[in-house]
Structures are given as structure tokens and as C-alpha cells.
A and B are shown apart, each in its own frame.
Chain A
Amino acid sequence: MRLAGFGAFAAGVTLLPVLFPDNYFVTVVGVSAGLHVILAVGLNLLIGYAGQISLGHAAFFGMGAYASAILTTRHAWPSLLAMAAGLLIAGSIAWLLARPILRLRGHYLAMATLGFGIIVHVVMVQATGWTGGPDGMAGIPPLNLLGWEVDGDRRWYGVVSAAALLTIWLSLNIVDSRVGRALRAVRGSEFAAQMMGIDAAGAKTQAFVVSALFAAFAGSLFAHQQAFVSPDSFSLMVSVDLVIMVVLGGMASTFGAAFGAIALTLLNEGLVVFEDYEMLIHGALLMIVMIFLPQGLFVGLSQVGRRLSAVFYCQTEKR
């Protein structure tokens, strides 16, 4: 089932640009959807599986982006090395932060991660010498994969979808591993998990670091793809949007998170034409989903589908 889902997803991703080679919604929106998939799948490990909220995830996304931006433009580092540096920075900060911050629960954890996100955002705005301040940094060189320059929409589509598929595959494997089971146990009851001999703090730290790494990875790709970064892209609203993606798609489901990311990206892109009503429609849709499909769109819809087919199956049986 898991492999079938992954296969279908991969096939869809590969088929789209073949069917619509120069479609804006595939090669441009598709790329940002892909980046959101990486972010949401990573965050889902933390929120969905480990049951820990993070309202500051855009901070890690921003660290990856700014590391790539600063190191490649100002210090002429090769882009892969800069990406590695970004991963290292985000990963170590997440690791240092994890122990103290993940001791908190519920609202307190939400507040702490929120504060962290805001601090990082303030640094991006104020450290003008490094980050270019509120106006951001332009002219970031294209991503260079060992001599192959990722330039142009279709190449970006290829790279980002490959990266997104890789993260989905990684996440599926983590979830079904010992670590994944430990995480789910921690989410169920931290106390019970500890009684079973699970290192709860260690499991939570791992989830936090891995999701930070995913975010920094997406950030690095984002910086090269946009060729421009500014603090706006890593604000509190972005963190909230990421949580919405995970919740919208369905928590504790890797495909759910990916689906939520794609759905929200397409929604935002589609709503742009409504200008003044954009936020209204956005909010209303979220409310409707949360009321009628509280498990999230993907999980909810697949349950509805299952129920429908069960009904259908019963009827054919009767005949």
C-alpha cells in the first residue's frame, strides 16, 4: 500500500511536465508546491508523529535559505557546500534547542517555538550587514550540482520534485522504523513510552532535528530557485501556514502532509485573482475542512472513500 502510494505519487509528478510542458501551474507553482511538500513532510514528523507543536518552523527554513544566499553570493562558496553548511547550522541549533524546549508541553511549547521563530525573524531584519535587512538579498546564483546548473523552470521542477520524493521516501522509512514507533508511543503517552524503555527525550530530539534539517534543505533550494530572499518569506505567518498544511492534509500521514502542502499552495495561487476576498475564502475553506473533515483532507477523504467502497461492496455481496 505504502509503495503503491509512493509509486502513484512519483508517476504523477513525472507525468505532469510531460503532459503540460510549459504550464505555469506545473513548472512554477509546482516548484513551490514541491518545496512546501518537503517542509510539511518534515514538520509532520514532529507534529503528526511525535505530537509536538512547532510554530517557529519558518526559522529553520530561513536558516537554510540565508546560509545558501550569504555563502554563495558574498563568499563565493559552491552551492552544495553552502547547502551543507545551512543543514549543519539548522541541525545544530535544533539539537541545542531541542532538550530545553521540548520539555515544555502544549501551549508552553507553542509559545516557546513561536518566540524562537520571532527571534530568528528579527535577526534577519536587523542584521543588515549579513542579511541585507528588510529589503533582502537579490542575485543569488543558480544551484550548481557538480557542474550541472539548475536554471530554468523545467530543470527546477525536476530537481525539486526529486527532492520532494526523496523526503517523502525518507519520512515513510523513518515512520516505519523503530524510531517512528517510538515517536508514536511518545505521542500516545510520554509516561507510558518511558515505562516501556523508550528514551522519550531522545526520540523527540531526533524528530525535531530531522524536521529542522528538512526545512533547511527546502530553504536552501528556495534561495537558489527564487534567486532572492527576504525576511518576509520566513515570518510567523509562514510558520502558521506550514502547520495548516500538516493539519489540512491530515496529521500523522506522510502523504497527508504532502497533499496538504500541494492543496494549500494551489489554493493560495488560485485565490490570488480574488484579491480582496482572498483571506476570506481561505479562512472559510479551512473552517469547512476542520468542521467536516477534522482528521484532515487526505485522511478524511480516504476514510470516506473506504466507507463508500465498503457500502458498495456490501451491496454487491447482497446481490
Chain B
Amino acid sequence: MSQAITKVTGTIDGRGFSVPIGTTLLEAAKSLGLTIPTLCHHPGLPADGNCRLCLVETGGKLVASCLFPLRTDGEAILTQSPMVLEARAFTVRLLLSRAPEDPRLLELAREYGTGPDPRLADGADGCLRCGLCVRACRASGTEAIALVGRGRERKVTGPFFEPPIDCVGCLACARVCPTGFIDFSELPRSIWGRDFDLRPCPQCGRPVGTPEELRRAGVENPLCPSCRRLSYSRSLMGLPEASFSNPGER
């Protein structure tokens, strides 16, 4: 007669926690109100542990808290130990060499007393290679971009280093990018070296979205949201179909 154990307990910086088994260390720290710095973590996307900023110490080892599931009781986690602070400063130094002008990284550099490594200055393009954009793309139902290559050669790109043919131009990748590295334009729509058409609303002519993103959503030729509202409001009110030439109506 053993009862299923569903909670796991331990301490973070001396403060006790009790969370469901499998909760990540980062989530547990957040539930205690503790802040662990992150750059490549997004609550809506699977964690990947790429930026290494969220390193914490447990059992004398460093672990990435965004990926570390709490499974055993009695874990004593330290988020501010000398080992953690040293590792984090080193991580900030490396990241800063990739994106030396990023305000969030500069703030972290001040906090941890470090700066960019001059020997790595030629890799400073603004991209951290954290892959958050790749994960957002995959979650949105497209796999247009990927991290390719290793070490210094690593980068985010479409297949064959060309503008990604599967990209639908939804811009989710650019919105989650922690450094704002991804160049894009909303109107006219362009990203990753590709220019997109924007399908106009059949009634008012305002742009609704790229044909590719509408196809992904499973809608072929939709009205824009405000014409959709107008159209069903008219039918609910028993009014005849609108003639959409009148701009006074909205």
C-alpha cells in the first residue's frame, strides 16, 4: 500500500520548496520568487539549455536549471554560489562576444563584472545561437530554419544557407529573439532575405497576412478581423450583407 509520490522537496538558496515531480529547477526557483537570469528560455517553448545563463549548482555540479527536472527529494540548490557566479560571468563574457551591444547582456556584464573577450571579436554578429527562433518556428508548425554547423561555424539559416523556402513570414522567430538579431519588416512583409505578398482583405483591402501563413492556419481567403466582426454582426442583427464601399462603417 504505497501512496504515489507526486511532490518533490528540497531547498534553493536555503529556502524550502515542494513542487510536483518533474518540475524544472528554473520553475521551482520562479515559484519561490527567485530570479535566475535566462536568455534562451521561453515559457511557451521547450527548453534547450543553449545560452547557459541559468546554470546553478547542485551536489557540487553545475546544471542548466531550465532543463533540470526535480525528481529526488533533498536537492540543495545554490543559485549564487562562487562556482555559479564564476561560470555565469564566463558565460556572459562569451555571449557578449557574440552580441556586444545587446542592452540585456551589457546589464548582465555590469552585474557580473565582465566584458567581451577581444579575441572573439570577429564573431560579433548579434546572434547568440540560442535557437529560440528555431524552436518558435517548429512550434508554429513550420520548420523553415535550423541551427547548422558546429562551434564558430554555427548559425541559424534556411536549408543550403539560402532564404528558407518553407518560411511563411509569420515573424514569430523575430518576436522571440532575445537580441533582436533577426531583421524583418511587417509592412511590406520580409524576413530571412525573403519578400512576401500580403493578401488583402476581400472587402476593405487591408492586408490580412501572407498567403503562406493563411494556408498554414487553414484559411484561404479570409476577411480581416474587423470585417469579420462587421460581417457577423450584420447577420446577427438581421441586416442585409454590407456593401463595403462605405469607409464610415467599421
Query: Does chain A bind chain B?
Result: no
Point out residues on A near B: beta carbons under 8 Å. none
Point out residues on B near A: beta carbons under 8 Å. none
